[in-house]
Amino acid sequence: MKRRLWAIVRKEFIHIFRDWRTLLIIILMPVLMIVLYGYAITLDMRNIVFGVIDDARTPESRALLEAFSENGFFKPWPHALQRDEIEALFMRRDVHAVLVIPRDFSRLLTTDRRADVQLIIDASDSNVGTFVNNYAEQVLRKYNERNNRGLPLLFEISPRIFYNPDMNSTNFFVPGLVALILMLISALLTSIAITREKETGTMEQILVSPVHAREIVLGKVLPYIALGLMNASLILVSARVLFDVPVRGSLLLLGLMSLVYVFVALSFGLMISTVARTQLIAMFGTLMATILPTIMLSGFIFPIASMPAVLQYVANVLPATYFLIIIRAIMLKGVGLAELWSHALILTGIGTFLLLAATRRFRMRLE
């Protein structure tokens, strides 16, 4: 038993190391992604260029323009501008917004004590639109406060940020990357490795040998478990070294939960390999059933609570959703099983169910 299993494990490792291109990509990709994410990715806007149509041309309007320019976030577009040119400017992407100060601006300000300026925003990217609008309101608030010493500020809001005080996106991203890579290696590589043996006909050769189905599955799966866990550690170490991403909780618990998650992913891979006949199909199937939902629906980048109800239901049965909650909590909050037992239980439940179903189906297929 032990010797036969060992032989299959060794054979699988030879396969893995022979294909150095795949191996290199698997090892290099997550590290490069961390670097890219750590340095490049932020949704904070900078350098917003705005055009100005100042119909008032009064000291008050000039003071307002001054207030917009001095905050560093807005940069005035240095050319004069007509109303009918706005569309063309937006299409050339020269400006993000246009500020229009009406002719009677100063008069309204003195007689009515209220004057509106118009802000036309290129909102094709709603995110940019929101940022520009918020910053403009901030500028106006400051401008009003400066002009009116008596304007009361009724209360102050003082935020205290927990777990990730600088609201650093790398801290958010790295745990998700671990979940993604574990899924990629365990599900995708396993399903392809098994389908390849079917496609090239070597699976039948193994089947006529005295090896048990159990040993084939185990022998196929063990090397990928090792590869996955190794890669996960590499991600955690490089994130720690490069960007100080911490692991505040128990490493042992983290390893244990990762192992459970790896079993879930492997079961998916096994399941798909029993259905797919070619590597191409196995690949598309795995992408659709595991990788894509893991990236899009698990809360990896986009918050689940903001999705439509149907997608939230889907998210609630995804193993990655639970694993992400667990791994983020262990790494960033430093909490343990006391807070996480319910999520851990669900993940283990899904894992056991899938593993049983997959091995059963796999054995049926082999016999």
State yes or no: residue 201 binds another protein (CB under 8 A): no
**Residue pointed to by tokens 């229009």:** 100
Contact (CB, 8 A) for 238 and 34: yes
Q: Rounded to whole angstroms, how far apart are CA atoms 11 and 30?
A: 26
Choice between 219 and 285, CB closer to another protein = 285
Which residue's entry shows tokens 């979940």?
179
Q: How many residues bind another protein (CB under 8 A)?
A: 107
Asked if 318 contacts 298 with a C-beta cutoff of 8 angstroms, the reply is yes
53 binds another protein (CB under 8 A): no
Amino acid identity, position 14: I
Q: How many beta carbons lie within 10 A of that of residue 224, not counting itself? A: 22
| Six token digits for residue 334 | 């430093």
Return all residues near 98 (Cβ < 8 A) that are at least 6 apart.
50, 51, 52, 53, 81, 86, 89, 119, 120
Asked if 150 interacts with another protein (CB under 8 A), we say yes
Cα 323 to Cα 167, 169, 259, 297, distances in angstroms: 21, 19, 11, 13
> For residues 1 and 32, which CB has a smaller minimum distance to another protein in the complex?
32
209-228 residues near another protein, rule: CB under 8 A: none
**Residue 127 engages another protein in binding (rule: CB under 8 A):** yes
Residue among 127 and 209 whose Cβ is closer to another protein: 127
Residues 6+ apart with CB under 8 A from 169: 37, 41, 42, 43
128-147: which residues touch another protein (CB under 8 A)?
A: 128-130, 133-134, 136-137, 140-141, 143-144, 147
Nearer Cβ to another protein (91/241) = 91
Q: According to CB under 8 A, which one of 196, 212, 361, 363 is a site residue for another protein?
A: 196
With contacts defined by CB under 8 A, name the span among 6-14, 108-116, 203-211, 235-243 that binds another protein.
Answer: 108-116
Looking at residues 254 to 273 of the shown chain, list those that interact with another protein (rule: CB under 8 A).
none
Contact stretch for another protein (CB under 8 A) within 119-127, 204-212, 240-248, 353-361:
119-127
Give the one residue of 3, 72, 82, 114 binding another protein; rule: CB under 8 A.
114
